[in-house]
Amino acid sequence: MSYDEHDAAMDDFYDRMSEELYPDHKEQAIDEFIEERMQSYYLKHPHLIEAPIVSYHHANELLQISPRSALIMYTTAIELFLKVVLLKPVLYGMVHNESVAELIVGSTIGQSGFARYNKLLNVLCSHAADIELSDIKGMNGKPILSEAEDVQKIRNKVVHQGYVCTVNEMGLAKNISSLILTEVVEPVLNNLNLVISTIDSRFCVIKA
């Protein structure tokens, strides 16, 4: 796909969101934003964590049955953790007009790959929980978001080309989805005084 004016505009938007989220001279304001805006969004939508966790557990069930199916479900979990659980609350919090926010979120969630909003995810995790995503390495020793993109490419080959993934590639997908849950999502939630729990047998986010 070619890079057009829409792509350039979206890239500029994500850069400006990142800068607004973490200006050096507004530390206190950002603390308040992270604490109030994001926490309130999670509490308003407590079950947003359910789909990625269910996908992750389903992938575990498929490990011995079908490595290709397991890889697809691990990749789904990765995308949902990053886009829905982390990125979506930020976008809603920063774009105060609900209808505009919905359009932006819809456009964001629909994008393949993570490169477009890597900067925003890095800034969010760094400030929300002192997490440097570039310091978290996957099985191949690359930054976690880079390996997540590698997993996406493998998943796309499986789905669109009938590629038979290797056990090692499936293991990479499992490793990245597990790291994103335990080393990124949970610390961010915990720093907001939130935890992952269950209500009526459904996974949810609640106050600690």
CA dist 70 and 14 (Å) reads 31
* pLDDT top residue among 145 and 119: 145
* pLDDT top residue among 187 and 8: 187
Q: What are phi and psi of 199, to 5 degrees?
A: -130, 120
Residues 56-83 have a mean pLDDT of 95
Q: How confident is the model at residue 140 (pLDDT cuts 50, 70, 90)?
A: very high
Which pLDDT score is estimated for 26? Answer: 46
What is the SS3 assignment for 148-202? HHHHHHHHHHHHHHCCCCCHHHHHHHHHHHHHHHHHHHHHHHHHCCEEEEEECCE
Q: With a cut of 50, say whether residue 85 has pLDDT above it.
A: yes
Q: With a cut of 90, say whether residue 118 has pLDDT above it.
A: no
Using one digit for the tens of pLDDT, what is the confidence trace for 50-67? 999 999 999 999 999 999
Number of domains forming the structure of the chain: 1
Residues 36-43 have a mean pLDDT of 86
Which pLDDT score is estimated for 11? Answer: 64
Q: With a cut of 70, say whether residue 203 has pLDDT above it.
A: yes
Q: With a cut of 70, say whether residue 102 has pLDDT above it.
A: no
Compute how many other C-beta atoms are within 10 angstroms of the C-beta atom of residue 125.
22
Which pLDDT score is estimated for 135? Answer: 94
Q: How confident is the model at residue 29 (pLDDT cuts 50, 70, 90)?
A: very low
Mean pLDDT lowest for which of 15-29, 31-45, 113-127? 15-29
Domain that residue 70 falls in: 5-19+27-207
* pLDDT top residue among 8 and 83: 83
The answer to whether 7 and 107 are in contact (CB under 8 A) is no
CA dist 39 and 14 (Å) reads 21
